[in-house]
Amino acid sequence: MTLKLYQFEPCWGIPNASPFCMKLETYLRITGRDFENCTGNQYLQKAPKDKLPFIEDQGKTIADSSLIIEYLKTTYNDPLDQHLSAYDRGAAKGMQRLFEDHLYWVVLYIRWVEYWPQIKNLYFNDLPPVLRNVIATVARRRTLANLNGQGIGRHSRDEIYDMGKRDVEAIAHFLSAKPYALGDQPTTLDATAYPFLVNILDVPIESDLKAYAQGFENLRAYCDRMKSQFYPDL
Ligand SMILES: N[C@@H](CCC(=O)N[C@@H](CS)C(=O)NCC(=O)O)C(=O)O
């Protein structure tokens, strides 16, 4: 049975506006694994941890992009990162955490606070008008509480932007002239790096963070390279 990937409906002409959904799809594409792509916001209701993505494979339902990748690596012996040194593995884990546990929150702030009217229309437009406002308001309230709970939501706009820019600068310096995040061949870190960068650079949210990221030519070239190699269908 083919693995089923459950994720949000794509929008904005990028594979997914959720960097975590896009991370899993990118991992599956990098490793060349067959999968059935089940897209739709309604799958959130079926999600075991109330977040997307999740997968079904061999009768198991697994949630969380990192846990899913761990499962796939052990179940299918994927050789993707086998050539990496201990140092590279450590650096990769640190960078992954920067993307997923720090930069992600800056992106959330930009979308759900600064660009909320635009995002509301994009994320919730497919709902019937009577439900749209209620669901959007509840979802936003939860996201604002999460931003506050994580801590980033307590900073000023300028402080948050400054943190995001330092992240982007660190990523650009880390990537430097390498074709992929860790060298000449793609690794699992690219499954995180590419989606997060695309979700800043290639979305119609003209934030200061996007303008700042556009200043790094290597980030643009990296995204173009990843797209032509793993998403030629886009
Ligand atoms: N740690 C999770 C994070 C997944 C996540 O945050 N998904 C977000 C979209 S980017 C989501 O489903 N949000 C819906 C909600 O919180 O209601 C993973 O790696 O899969």
pLDDT digits (tens, 9 = 90+) for 29-53: 999 999 999 999 899 999 999 999 9
What average pLDDT does the structure give for the chain?
Answer: 96
- Is residue 68 domain-shared with residue 90, that is, in the same domain? no
The CA 81 to ligand 1 mean position distance, Å, reads 25
CA angle (86, 88, 202) in 5-degree steps? 150
Determine the structural domain holding residue 196 and report its residue range. Answer: 86-230
- Is residue 200 domain-shared with residue 90, that is, in the same domain? yes
CATH number of the CATH domain containing 59 = 3.40.30.10
Pocket, ligand 1, Cβ cutoff 6 A: 18, 20, 44, 51-53, 64-66
Q: What pLDDT does 124 receive?
A: 87
Residue 81 lies in a domain: no
Q: Is 59 left (phi over 0), alpha (psi -120 to 50) or beta?
A: left
Of 57, 76, 95, the domain-final residue: 76
pLDDT band for position 23 (cuts 50, 70, 90): very high
- Is residue 125 domain-shared with residue 215, that is, in the same domain? yes
The CA 64 to ligand 1 mean position distance, Å, reads 8
Question: Quick one: how far is CA 64 from the chain centroid?
Answer: 12
Residue 224 lies in a domain: yes
Q: 180 pLDDT exceeds 90?
A: yes
Quote the percentage of the chain above a pLDDT of 70: 100
Bridge-based pairing of strands 35-39 and 3-7 is parallel
The whole-number average pLDDT for the span 79-100 is 97
Q: What pLDDT does 222 receive?
A: 98
Residue 221 lies in a domain: yes
Of 20, 42, 76, the domain-final residue: 76
Domain count, the chain: 2
* CA–CA dist 55, 62 (Å, integer): 5
Distance from first CA to last CA of the chain, Å, rounded? 26
The CA 19 to ligand 1 mean position distance, Å, reads 9
| pTM of the model as a whole | 0.97
The whole-number average pLDDT for the span 158-163 is 98
- Is residue 153 domain-shared with residue 185, that is, in the same domain? yes
Kind and range of the H or E run holding 115: none
Contact 187, 165 (CB under 8 A): no
Residue 175 lies in a domain: yes
Residue 92 lies in a domain: yes
- Is residue 100 domain-shared with residue 129, that is, in the same domain? yes
Atom number of ligand 1 nearest to Cα 24: 20
The CA 31 to ligand 1 mean position distance, Å, reads 22
Q: What pLDDT does 121 receive?
A: 86
The whole-number average pLDDT for the span 108-132 is 91
pLDDT, tens digit (0-9, with 9 covering 90-100), for 48-82: 999 999 999 999 999 999 999 999 999 999 989 99
